[in-house]
Amino acid sequence: MTMPNAATDEEIRAALEDAYLTNDFERLHALLTNNEVTSIWSDPCGRLRNVATQCIFVAGNDGDVSKISIIFQIWRENPYFVAPSGEEFNPALALAHGIETLNRDLVNVLLDNGCKVKSIVAEEIADLKVRDGNWAAFTLILQDLVDHGWDVNTKTTPLKGELFWGIYRGPGSQKNLLTLARLATNNLPVFHWLLEPGADPNIADGFDGTPMAYTAMNGTSYMIKQLFQYGAKVDNNALHHVVGRSKMDPERIPILEILLQHGADINALETGLEKLPSSNASALPPHTSTVLYKAVRDRHCQLVRYLLSKGADSEKRTAGFKGQGITPLEWLRLQKWKDEELQVLLEGTQTRTTIRTRNEVS
């Protein structure tokens, strides 16, 4: 009996490439199992992983979770799923996709088969814009992650914070600066869910930003109260974020009031600006300032009057401006367009301070 000729290396390579390009997982797996290909096809492990991950995407979208379970079973039996580094098959992109599409079945079959919440997944959670505002489905998936051992305080990357920080990210051109904030701060169920499983309200991001500070930027006075109730410490930078809100924002004064009641220093200089990426350097002010200085620059008389009534020091200088700093009144006097109301407010405070100082000396 004549044996059929064995396939040539070129034929095997062509078959491998075709199976890879068409995402035919079963065929690619069979070819790798039945042929020695390391000398004719580069990175068989990585390519098989890529095809497996793509098939998981498709199966998840089709609702065929049984096929996903089969892929994981093959992984446990096949050495091609073990990378040269020893790292096991962990289709984090598929898990991130399941979270993004709110596909709870896909998320759970991946978690049940040992898929871990790596940084790319945590970043997907922090960056997620939930479909159709379906936050209830989102919190169910978050709970599934916790039930499978995920810690909500897990860091993502050195410049990103944990999930709680990510939820409060505000507007910014840098991906790891602060989008989900405006969504989450209008969604109290997610806010409350984060607090219940123990999200730490005091963990700062790489720029010294805390959930308190970012909630002050985008949230409500109610949310600030809730953070304090769950153990948040006062963050002076939160004062600066509140002052940066719209002049017409009705939450400005109430949030300031709560922060001051909990011991925030009304004369504290803002911190953390020096930690921002160098690409943002041109957008940074030449100095760090007080909230009063910011309110004066914003020409918000009502807010300036409020801050002065709460003990804001009109003589407190900024740090870093030409090496010596500048007071709010000095800045105002340098401007081409004068604001008489602001000037009267600040000059009146300056006069009272001078008289008080003279009385103390005498």
Q: What is the pLDDT along the chain (362 residues), one digit of tens a residue?
A: 343 456 788 999 999 999 999 999 889 988 988 888 878 888 888 888 889 889 998 998 898 988 898 888 887 777 666 666 666 677 888 888 888 888 999 999 999 988 887 766 766 666 666 666 677 888 898 899 889 988 777 655 433 444 444 444 433 323 332 333 434 555 677 778 878 777 788 877 666 678 888 888 888 899 999 999 989 999 999 999 999 898 899 999 999 999 999 999 999 998 876 555 544 444 445 568 899 999 999 888 999 999 999 999 999 998 865 567 888 888 888 887 777 888 888 887 654 554 344 445 44
Q: Which residue has the tokens 């978690």?
A: 111
What pLDDT shows up at residue 182? Answer: 39
Please give the Cα distance from 235 to 209 (Å, whole number).
9
pLDDT value of position 94? 86
Question: Residue 109: its pLDDT value, please?
Answer: 93
Q: What is the DSSP string of 151-195?
A: -TT---STTS--HHHHHT--S-SSTT---HHHHHTT-HHHHHHHH
Please measure the distance between the N-terminal and C-terminal CA atoms of the chain and give it in whole angstroms.
121
- What pLDDT score does 43 carry? 86
Task: Confirm if 35 and 11 have CB atoms less than 8 A apart.
Answer: no
Give the pLDDT confidence score for residue 49 in this predicted structure: 85
Q: Which residue has the tokens 């898990």?
A: 95
> H or E segment at 284?
none
Q: Of 304, 295, 305, 297, nearest to 337 (Cα)?
A: 297
Closest CA to 236 of 263, 200, 202: 263
The CATH homologous superfamily to which domain 267-272+286-362 belongs is: Ankyrin repeat-containing domain (1.25.40.20)
pTM (global) more than 0.85: no
Every domain of the chain and the residues it spans: 7-89, 267-272+286-362
